A and B are shown apart, each in its own frame.
Chain A
């Protein structure tokens, strides 16, 4: 016992003697006015843009960010409890531009935009801090997008494929499954060598609790970080949340790894920025949004990129989510973000209520990277699917005249119906790419033409189970990533064998 006591005393003595007091000059100012999460501060002549300021209140220190640098005063947003700040309180400049802790310790945790833990699992030990605002990589440092992000959602992987380094917008009205697409994508990244970051901006905390529970159940929290700025947080934290998530992603990207970032959703982000700008007395523009609301999103999404080998070869894929009102794609914020991203996944209420879930509109959805982000096997079977799906939609109006149509049209209608049946998928059931290739191969080569439309999903589920039992074909597709003559033979045999076991085929 005495050794531990002596050891402690020795340590304490050496700690004290080795301690060097850091005395340096600090810039100070005084609070002139505090209201609604904004503080006006006098003094602080050398404040920098986006510099962290410390408000010294009776109950401790509160952090703030300088956003308005005027001749006589500095306008700052308060990142914390603004009720403790009084007029006349001292404000110190920290000479640090707004930054968040980043690192491996963030994986598996739920944090707030300042990096503080929200999941009750203890302190987060990090050594590195990344600035929240960063200039996006330039043209020379980028490489073209070639590798796929397998979302596991059939409609997306076949018709609107996403690549690593792409920005794909998920847009639609409320309650159509936008977050569901993002969560299924995250769950499907297991074993795909991707880190995931889910940024929840202004979402209900109960919804996020459900999502975290689902992700933990699926084992996705082993590679996912959740950045949470819930509905009741102040506008300042909502404003910096997506940038904080991007900074955390950049840490992994700089190490050469691939990251998927989901921003759910950017409409609420724009609203919180509008709130801050109006309180800072910046002039309102269209729909009362400030003039730089385009720049707000463009500088965030431009940081998602694929870097070339000289810079590590890492990538950040962004899936921003925008909520439209009554399907209005021509509103201000949706048109802004559509012009920034490399494509959009458009969800429609008609399809949703008809039972086609995920309710992806194949005609209006697009991926500007397209088939360069698909493995060769998928490209071969799914190449024409988007066109066929869109054409079927146009022809579907004639479906009521079933008997009055020519043979070709009837064939197209039959094929289209089965196509739409195949695209239906349950939530939290992402499908691996080799099974998708199998199903599409069966469809486009006419193997499903004699399966009744209402039995297609049952047929498909049975086909996957059968393929799992005789999994030589699936393994081949995974290794070779393309369909050569040998694999094609194996596929044909597998499907024929399975069809022999099924009894509901149309004669």
Chain B
């Protein structure tokens, strides 16, 4: 019977939650041994990614990517964080910020499988399409 990466990740999560450091170490040793027996060590990356996702969801942690045309000040950053907190109900938000001058102005916010495109470049493209039709 094939065990999916999801099932591995969920069982790992269930076995390490609310355990102290010593117990977690023992569980992890057993888990890796299990993966080795089933010859599934090459799926470790996949399992870890799903584990991180379910952990974040359960603890209300959200990681998002923010691409802006210029460095953002604290006020703007806080607004984005509170927007995300309101939308997703996450308690803590980690923002991965990059600057891309090609956006001309505004920003692009990516989180979960959603995208919020508030860049000036996209608005200008849409205006161009609207006028030329």
Binding site for B on A (CB under 8 A): 12, 15-16, 19, 21-29, 43-45, 71-72, 92
Contact flag A45-B130 (CB < 8 Å), given A23-B118, A26-B117 = no
* Cβ contacts under 8 Å, A19 to chain B: 127, 130
- The verdict on B113 contacting chain A, using a C-beta distance below 8 Å, is yes
* Cβ contacts under 8 Å, A45 to chain B: 112-113
Task: List residues of B (75-133) whose CB comes within 8 Å of A's CBs.
Answer: 110, 112-118, 123, 126-127, 130-131
* Cβ contacts under 8 Å, B123 to chain A: 21, 23
Apart from A12-B131, A23-B117, list 6 A-B contacts with CB within 8 A: A23-B123, A25-B115, A26-B116, A27-B114, A28-B113, A44-B113
**B residues contacting the other copy or chain, number (CB 8 A):** 14
Q: How distant is B106 from chain A, measured CB to nearest CB, in Å?
A: 9
* Cα separation A12 to B127 with both chains bound (whole Å): 11
Binding site for A on B (CB under 8 A): 6, 110, 112-118, 123, 126-127, 130-131
Question: In the complex, what residue of chain B is closest to A22 when comparing beta carbons?
Answer: B126
Question: In the complex, what residue of chain A is closest to B131 when comparing beta carbons?
Answer: A15
Chain B interface, DSSP helix/strand/loop, else mixed: mixed
* Cα separation A18 to B93 with both chains bound (whole Å): 36
* Cα separation A21 to B123 with both chains bound (whole Å): 6
A–B Cβ pairs within 8 angstroms, 14 of them: A12-B131, A16-B127, A22-B126, A23-B116, A23-B123, A24-B116, A26-B114, A26-B115, A26-B117, A27-B114, A27-B115, A28-B110, A28-B115, A43-B113
Question: In the complex, what residue of chain A is closest to B116 when comparing beta carbons?
Answer: A25
Across the interface, do B114 and A28 meet the contact criterion of CB distance under 8 Å?
yes
* Cβ contacts under 8 Å, B116 to chain A: 23-26
Q: How distant is B127 from chain A, measured CB to nearest CB, in Å?
A: 6
Question: In the complex, what residue of chain A is closest to B120 when comparing beta carbons?
Answer: A21
* Cα separation A16 to B110 with both chains bound (whole Å): 28
* Cβ contacts under 8 Å, B114 to chain A: 25-28
* Cβ contacts under 8 Å, A44 to chain B: 113
* Cα separation A506 to B126 with both chains bound (whole Å): 82
* Cβ contacts under 8 Å, A28 to chain B: 110, 113-115
Question: In the complex, what residue of chain A is closest to B130 when comparing beta carbons?
Answer: A19
* Cα separation A24 to B110 with both chains bound (whole Å): 12
* Cα separation A27 to B116 with both chains bound (whole Å): 9
* Cα separation A143 to B126 with both chains bound (whole Å): 48
Across the interface, do A29 and B130 meet the contact criterion of CB distance under 8 Å?
no
Question: In the complex, what residue of chain B is closest to A21 when comparing beta carbons?
Answer: B123
What are the 9 A-B residue pairs with the smallest beta carbon separation, nearest first?
Answer: A43-B113, A21-B123, A28-B115, A23-B118, A25-B116, A25-B114, A26-B115, A45-B113, A19-B127
Q: How distant is A41 from chain B, measured CB to nearest CB, in Å?
A: 10
* Cα separation A21 to B113 with both chains bound (whole Å): 22
* Cα separation A51 to B82 with both chains bound (whole Å): 31
Across the interface, do A21 and B131 meet the contact criterion of CB distance under 8 Å?
no
* Cα separation A27 to B115 with both chains bound (whole Å): 6
* Cα separation A408 to B51 with both chains bound (whole Å): 90
Question: In the complex, what residue of chain B is closest to A23 when comparing beta carbons?
Answer: B118
Q: How distant is B54 from chain A, measured CB to nearest CB, in Å?
A: 13
Question: In the complex, what residue of chain B is closest to A30 when comparing beta carbons?
Answer: B113
Question: In the complex, what residue of chain B is closest to A71 when comparing beta carbons?
Answer: B6
* Cα separation A43 to B114 with both chains bound (whole Å): 9
* Cα separation A21 to B127 with both chains bound (whole Å): 8
* Cα separation A25 to B110 with both chains bound (whole Å): 9
* Cα separation A24 to B127 with both chains bound (whole Å): 16
Q: How distant is A122 from chain B, measured CB to nearest CB, in Å?
A: 15
* Cα separation A23 to B6 with both chains bound (whole Å): 34
